[in-house]
Amino acid sequence: GAVVSQHPSWVICKSGTSVKIECRSLDFQATTMFWYRQFPKQSLMLMATSNEGSKATYEQGVEKDKFLINHASLTLSTLTVTSAHPEDSSFYICSAPVRGSGRNEQFFGPGTRLTVL
């Protein structure tokens, strides 16, 4: 099957610092990846669509300068939370679609829990 990994699985940082989260498709290539945010006991909210070789597409209300997305290769997308604050503490999840050979499905990473002190 298709596997998506995320690193780190959890991170604690001080307010004002930046944190980078990696999302990798391990056994397939992904020209597109999606970044979601999940608050405790709440649903996943799509933050942005990461596009390989071009700029990310952000959902309404998501600050581009706050959440920097880079999709430098067909297997890696990164989300950098810049100048993190306690309200950025959340669970961040990425996904990547697999298409072709009769498949059209998204595969999710295990998530990264960010705690900003």
Contact 117, 105 (CB under 8 A): no
Choice from 69, 93, 114, 116 touching another protein (CB under 8 A): 93
Measure the CA–CA gap between 51 and 69, rounded to whole angstroms.
Answer: 9
105 sits near another protein (criterion: CB under 8 A): yes
Among 31, 29, 32, residue whose Cα is nearest residue 3: 29
How far does the chain reach from its first CA to its final CA, in angstroms? 37
Nearer to another protein, 89 or 106 (CB): 106
Nearer to another protein by Cβ, of 14 and 41: the residue is 41
Cβ closest to another protein, residue 14 vs residue 54: 54
Binding residues for another protein, per CB under 8 A? 4, 32, 34, 41-46, 49, 93, 95, 97, 104-106, 108-111
